[in-house]
């Protein structure tokens, strides 16, 4: 997690989503087809939705701090935008004048997405899995296509998003192919936009538009198929866990076949597709952080460490850890018991923080008292609340004062299961203490190093004997878009994670 100079999120045990649509239907033009059809939002509303959600997303995930890389992605996006349906002479002025924003998010998750009104995001995790600028062009063109075709606004008419109980919400995000816990720090509106499932026809249309825009800029659009092959391999390596970009998309095998076919059609129309720009792209991502950044916190052998903020606390066996910029979520295998750790820089004391939680509607206080562990002052309380299905929840909240901030542990499960997890819940804040281990305080993130193959040999022979931070040989093969036993020609530039 990254330290944010704002009041930290206090989990709402029951969060319900409003219907995504604006409550009315508007008849407007589709910039791609040129036809009028029903949309859930006017174009002006789409612009406002995107602008509001963008602020939350940037606050939640953070931007990757590399201005040169960010400008590179933005410049490529703006170049593709020039040939999109939103910039063509016969397109209405309001579409042509809409500004687009392209951002690189500081997340290891392989993801790209677009918000209405022209906000497009790629993660550093996605960039690590690309091999050239042509592949990035297809990805950015795909996302521009979602905005140009107004897919979110189309779905707003057709799709009703019901209420979702957040008990186990950290895992809900993971089950949807999203990095777990993120939804807990986003407003209902932003979460709806990010979790909106486009139909397969929408995805096929955006694939076609991504190829079209890339081909019109003379990129080797067929290269996009290699990236979708990588997504399929990620899914297989994770035991069937679906990366975000596959969650509601056409089968990767289908895309590997159709993307080159689409590219061929544009070549037949006279668009030469010669630009690959692998060298420039690889130079841009050289030195980029790969995987989870340990400076923002990591779990090792039952302990969560945060080198930048100099604290540690235990993680009981059997709990899965989701480390997000605004919270650390720990959840058991059965997804029935959750602990959320957050930081607050605004409360005057641990007691005032806990009381602010206890005063929330629907919370019934059972007990509360001063709390001291490891020489640190704090405050602890127990409470109950009703889940959406009327299950009674038992809650433990502990706030600890440390280095000018209030550190908070919120644990909850059903009242009937609370005795089972009470010991685990208590042990986590009880073990919160200052981090003094010099080897952990000085830990560096893993970064991508570019290394030319010194000889012709199987890819596996170029890997170091000990890969850092639990990275597996297959992970490195996937980011290079090769097989472990594939023969690599001498001089080929390889992406090798180093620490």
DSSP annotation string for 347-364: -S-HHHHHHHHHTSTT-E
pLDDT of residue 101: 98
CA atoms of 369 and 283, how far apart (whole Å): 56
Tell me the two tokens of residue 349: 């004391």
CA atoms of 416 and 393, how far apart (whole Å): 8
CA atoms of 298 and 108, how far apart (whole Å): 13
pLDDT of residue 207: 94
Asked whether the beta carbons of 121 and 4 are under 8 A apart, the reply is: no
Q: Report DSSP state, residue 289.
A: B
Give the up-direction half-sphere exposure of residue 166: CA atoms within 13 A in the CB hemisphere: 23
Asked whether the beta carbons of 324 and 179 are under 8 A apart, the reply is: yes
pLDDT of residue 197: 63
Tell me the two tokens of residue 169: 């919400």
DSSP letters for 119-144: EEEEEHHHHHT--SHHHHHHHHHHHH
pLDDT of residue 232: 84
pTM score: 0.82
Scanning the structure block, which residue is given the tokens 């960039």? 127
Strands 101-105 vs 119-123: parallel, antiparallel or unpaired: parallel
Scanning the structure block, which residue is given the tokens 């069937």? 240
Tell me the two tokens of residue 23: 């409550």
pLDDT of residue 5: 38
> Which residues on adjacent β-strands are paired with residue 494?
451
335: closest CA among 102, 175, 112? 175
Fold of 295-441: Protein Transport Mog1p; Chain A (3.40.1000)
Domain parsing of the chain, residue ranges? 26-285, 295-441, 447-498
φ, ψ (nearest 5 deg) of residue 184 = -70, -20
Would you call 60 helix, strand, or coil by DSSP?
A: helix
Asked whether the beta carbons of 129 and 110 are under 8 A apart, the reply is: yes
Query: Angle 363-368-370 (CA atoms, 0-180°, nearest 5)?
Result: 140
pLDDT of residue 288: 98
Per-residue pLDDT of the chain (499 residues; tens, 9 = 90+): 765 433 333 333 333 323 344 446 788 899 999 998 888 889 999 999 999 999 988 988 889 999 999 999 999 999 999 999 999 999 999 999 999 999 999 999 898 999 999 999 999 999 999 999 999 999 999 999 999 999 988 887 765 433 322 222 222 222 223 333 333 455 656 666 665 667 788 889 999 999 999 999 999 999 999 988 888 888 777 654 444 444 445 565 678 889 999 999 999 999 999 999 999 999 999 999 999 999 999 999 999 999 999 999 999 999 999 887 778 999 998 889 999 999 987 889 999 999 999 999 899 999 999 999 999 999 999 999 988 788 899 999 999 999 999 999 999 999 999 999 999 999 999 999 999 999 999 999 999 999 999 999 999 999 999 999 889 999 999 999 999 999 999 999 999 999 9
Would you call 311 helix, strand, or coil by DSSP?
A: strand
Neighbours of 204 (CB within 10 A): 17
The rounded Cα 70 to chain-centroid distance in angstroms is: 17
CA atoms of 163 and 217, how far apart (whole Å): 43
95: closest CA among 120, 118, 119? 118
| Contact residues for 201 (Cβ-Cβ < 8 A; gap 6+) | none
DSSP letters for 266-285: HHHTT----B--HHHHHHHH
Query: Angle 262-138-75 (CA atoms, 0-180°, nearest 5)?
Result: 140
Helical (H) or strand (E) element with 338: strand 338-344
CA atoms of 32 and 91, how far apart (whole Å): 9
């Amino acid at each position: 997690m990254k330290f944010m100079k704002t009041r930290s999120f206090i989990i709402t045990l029951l969060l319900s989503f409003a219907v995504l649509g604006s409550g009315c239907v508007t008849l407007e033009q589709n910039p791609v087809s040129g036809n009028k059809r029903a949309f859930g939002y006017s174009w002006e509303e789409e612009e406002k939705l995107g602008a509001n959600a963008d602020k939350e997303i940037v606050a939640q995930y953070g931007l990757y701090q590399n201005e040169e890389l960010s400008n590179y992605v933005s410049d490529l996006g703006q170049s593709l935008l020039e040939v999109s349906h939103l910039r063509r002479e016969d397109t209405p002025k309001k579409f042509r004048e809409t500004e687009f924003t392209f951002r690189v998010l500081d997340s290891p998750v392989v993801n790209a997405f677009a918000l209405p009104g022209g906000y497009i995001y790629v993660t550093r995790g996605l960039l690590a899995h690309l091999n050239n600028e042509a592949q990035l062009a297809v990805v950015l063109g795909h996302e521009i296509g979602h905005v140009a075709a107004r897919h979110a606004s189309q779905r707003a008419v057709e799709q009703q998003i019901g209420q979702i109980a957040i008990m186990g919400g950290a895992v809900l995000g993971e089950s949807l192919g999203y990095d777990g816990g993120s939804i807990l720090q986003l407003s209902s509106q932003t979460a709806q936009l990010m979790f909106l499932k486009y139909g397969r026809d929408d995805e096929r249309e955006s694939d076609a538009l991504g190829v079209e825009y890339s081909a019109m800029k003379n990129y080797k659009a067929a290269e996009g198929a290699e990236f979708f092959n990588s997504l399929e391999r990620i899914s297989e390596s994770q035991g069937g866990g679906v990366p975000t970009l596959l969650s509601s998309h056409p089968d990767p095998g289908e895309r590997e076949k159709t993307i080159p076919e689409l590219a061929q059609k544009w070549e037949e129309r006279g668009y030469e597709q010669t630009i690959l720009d692998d060298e420039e792209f690889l130079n841009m991502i050289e030195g980029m952080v790969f995987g989870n950044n340990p400076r923002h916190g990591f779990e090792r052998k039952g302990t969560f460490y945060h080198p930048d903020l100099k604290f540690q606390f235990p993680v009981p066996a059997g709990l899965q850890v989701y480390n997000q910029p605004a919270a650390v979520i720990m959840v058991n295998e059965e997804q029935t018991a959750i602990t959320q750790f957050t930081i607050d820089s605004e409360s005057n004391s641990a007691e005032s923080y806990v009381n602010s939680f206890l005063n929330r509607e629907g919370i019934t206080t059972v007990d509360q008292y001063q709390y001291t562990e490891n020489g640190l002052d704090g405050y602890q309380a127990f409470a109950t609340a009703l889940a959406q299905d009327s299950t009674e929840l038992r809650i433990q909240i502990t706030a600890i004062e440390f280095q000018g901030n209030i550190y908070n542990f919120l644990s909850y499960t059903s009242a009937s299961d609370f005795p089972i997890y009470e010991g685990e819940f208590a042990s986590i804040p009880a073990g919160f203490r200052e981090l003094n281990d010099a080897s952990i305080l000085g830990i560096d993130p893993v970064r991508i190093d570019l290394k030319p193959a010194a000889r012709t040999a199987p890819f596996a022979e170029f890997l170091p004997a000990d890969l850092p931070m639990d990275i597996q040989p297959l992970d490195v093969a996937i980011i290079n878009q090769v097989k472990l036993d594939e023969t690599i020609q001498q001089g080929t530039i390889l992406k090798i994670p180093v620490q």
